[in-house]
Amino acid sequence: MEMETAFNIGEWVRIADKLHLLVGYSGFVTEFDFWKSEYRVILTKKSSGSTTYGRLWIEQTRIVSIEDSRHEEDLHSLIDFALDDNDKPYFEEILNKLQTMEVPNEI
């Protein structure tokens, strides 16, 4: 039996299930539903590489972890989307994610 991978809140993931309509899209995890084994993911990038905005619940088995360093520029675009939509909770969520990425490592 294959062991399922758990993802942390804030972790960057990519939709890897080839049968899913949004295969190749990437974003970060914001919530986990224990009962359904689903993650709420804020999508930031299409499979083509262009910036996008979306939210979805997706099964744990359909996503894989990716590195987050290349997505910082996407967060700046998503802040603009949130401002355009007057979506304060989403704006604060993205701003918090951006601030945690920009914290320098202290020695």
CA dihedral (75, 77, 80, 85) positive or negative: negative
- The answer on 73 and 54 residing in a single domain is no
Radius of gyration of the chain (CA): 14
CB 22 within 8 A of CB 12: no
Residue 31 sits in the same domain as residue 74 = no
Q: Is residue 107 part of a domain?
A: no
Instruction: State whether 21 and 55 are in the same domain.
Output: yes
Question: Residue 6: inside a domain, yes or no?
Answer: no
Residue 59's pLDDT is what?
93
Specify the number of domains making up the chain: 2
Note the pLDDT tens digit of each residue in 19-35: 888 999 998 898 999 99
Same domain for 93 and 73, yes or no, is yes
Q: Quick one: which of 65, 22, 52, 57 has its CA closest to 41?
A: 57
Per-residue model confidence as pLDDT tens digits over 63-103: 999 875 556 777 777 787 778 888 888 888 888 877 876 55
Same domain, yes or no: 81 and 56 = no
Q: Which domain holds residue 61?
A: 12-65
Alpha-carbon gap, residue 59 to 37, rounded angstroms: 6
Q: Does residue 84 sit within a domain?
A: yes
Task: Decide if 2 is inside a domain.
Answer: no
Q: Tokens for 41? A: 């993911």
pTM for the full model?
Answer: 0.66
